[in-house]
Amino acid sequence: MTHLPQISPTALAELQTDYLKQAAALWNSALGQSEAPTVNDRRFAAPEWRSNPAASFLTQLYLLNGRTLQQMASAVEADDKTKARIRFAVQQFVDAASPSNFLALNPEAQKLALESQGETLARGLQHLWGDVQRGHVSQTDERAFEVGKNVATTAGSVVYENALFQLIEYAPLTPQVKARPLVMVPPCINKFYILDLQPDNSLIRYAVAEGNRTFVVSWRNPDDSVKHLTWDDYVETGVIEALRVAQEISGQKQVNTLGFCVGGTLLATALAVLAARGEQPAASVTLLTTLLDFSDNGVLDIFVDEASVRLREATLGAESPKGPQLLHGQELATTFSFLRPNDLVWNYVVGNYLKGEAPPAFDLLYWNGDSTNLPGPMYCWYLRHTYLQNELKEPGKLTVCGEKVDLGAINAPVYIYGSREDHIVPWHAAYRSTPLLKGRKRFVLGASGHIAGVINPPAKPGKPAKRCHWIGKGTTLPADPEAWMAGAVEHAGSWWPDWSAWLAALAGEPKPAPKVPGNRKYKVIEPAPGRYVKVKA
């Protein structure tokens, strides 16, 4: 018999007693009999929240109720996944119920409306109507950016394309380049230009400036003509084809490879498929915030179980009644935004609509809102065989492109990077790739999150270093990630120079930089960043 999640009477009584004690103290402070506690929450940082007694009391009461609801969620007696889902749902409710989200309860927004004689409210309604037409809450001024004009501007050329991707070769910035080229595989759930936002924070430009002949996969934003594509297609027609073209253009038997997020999962799968065919095209493998072992997937794990995957297969997969369908990019974008709702949803609801503020121009948030679709069969396979069944890590368990997949058969040195505050690929999960790959390994941990940790360029001369990173002592990697962390050494600034030095030792001798991109077989199709990246979902 299945038991519903519940809270033990003892735990519930303790929570009730603690709540009543804190509520009484709050009421006494409201009556002036004691000092109200300090609120360290940026939603209520404006002086209007403190100077207005009613707003101050409401804030304290809301925070008390929110804490108590989360304590109740944590006290539920259930399995780990059920508890995580309850905590997530409660947190969504608590964040949505914040008094800052409502004009009638937000003294800061009310003051702005009075001072502007209602102009802020009029602007807010205009912003709301614009977002209704766009279909999402605006996080930045989207009119301020244009792909190829002021983002994704590193010079290069599209030298190959098929129905799935374009391959960009970037123009050299040095008189000589290393013999072995670098092939980057970005995630297919986002546009590649997260690696090329601005010249000063572009990992692509940095790699080129370090003397690497650099190729980057620009995934197509799928439409109905390719909604039938599978994971095998992304591996064979995508990654393997990109590696083959880069080998032919460069004339090199081996290339250096880099995969970011799901791009790293695709890259590792492709290299394992090629290893099963007796091919070892990678001189090195760099994996940035990548999952290969899906045992612990952070907050995303709460969305995946047998029932949810079956629902996706029945509505999006090849066997669905309507045939394969697209997973639309806005659905993915909304899901990721609600993983951090105060930062990526309610913050903009308050600013855009209640205060009438135009969101600032921010390249990272423009990229974040430039969503991509996914073919349903590809997405369903990915969900079932990685997130749900975690089969990629098991040698021979999966068959991809007609080959048994064994990650341990990849014969190449590996650079594995994780971000310490990553909520999408927790750094412990990134570290779990280390025993799966048998080549010489280096693990580096960066500060900050999934994106900001990766896009962390070296500081300019005379400027203070941003963030930091950790590198382990010696060459051995213990099984326990916390044991690795205990022996790691913190270094100020970007991890990029460490990676570049590691890569340089594997990139071959320098040779004169090519005068033109591509070769006789693979001619220039169009300038970078190409057409595919400009297609909107």
Which residues are tagged catalytic?
261
If phi > 0 it is left, if psi is from -120 to 50 it is alpha, else beta; for residue 472 that is beta
214-219 and 182-185: which strand pairing?
parallel
* Spatial separation of the C-alpha atoms in residues 471 and 484, rounded to whole Å: 9
Distance set, CA 414 to CA 434, 435, 470, 475, 499 (Å): 9, 11, 17, 12, 11
- Locate 107 and state its tokens: 């003294």
* Spatial separation of the C-alpha atoms in residues 71 and 269, rounded to whole Å: 41
Residue 237: strand, helix, or coil = helix
Q: Are 501 and 212 in contact (CB under 8 A)?
A: no
- List, in sequence order, every beta strand (DSSP E) within 440-479: 441-446, 468-471
* Spatial separation of the C-alpha atoms in residues 318 and 233, rounded to whole Å: 14
If phi > 0 it is left, if psi is from -120 to 50 it is alpha, else beta; for residue 394 that is beta
Cα torsion 518, 524, 528, 531 to 10°: value is -130
Give the contacts of 250 (CB within 8 A, at least 6 positions apart): 179, 180, 181, 213
* Spatial separation of the C-alpha atoms in residues 449 and 420, rounded to whole Å: 7
**Torsions phi, psi for 97 (to 5 deg):** -85, 5
Looking only at Cα atoms, what is the longest distance across the chain?
A: 84
* Spatial separation of the C-alpha atoms in residues 268 and 262, rounded to whole Å: 10
Give the end-to-end CA distance of the chain in Å, rounded to a whole number: 46
**Torsions phi, psi for 376 (to 5 deg):** -55, -50
Provide the sign of the torsion angle of the four alpha carbons 202, 207, 210, 215, taken in this order: negative
**Angle between helix 119-134 and helix 107-115 axes, rounded to 10 deg:** 110
* Spatial separation of the C-alpha atoms in residues 21 and 24, rounded to whole Å: 5
255-260 and 282-288: which strand pairing?
parallel
Instruction: Classify residue 43 as exposed, middle or buried by CB count within 10 Å of its CB (0-12, 13-18, 19+).
Output: buried
Alpha helices, DSSP H, located in 277-374? 306-316, 329-337, 341, 347-348, 363-369
- List, in sequence order, every beta strand (DSSP E) within 450-532: 468-471, 489-492, 510-512, 526-527
Residue 359: strand, helix, or coil = coil
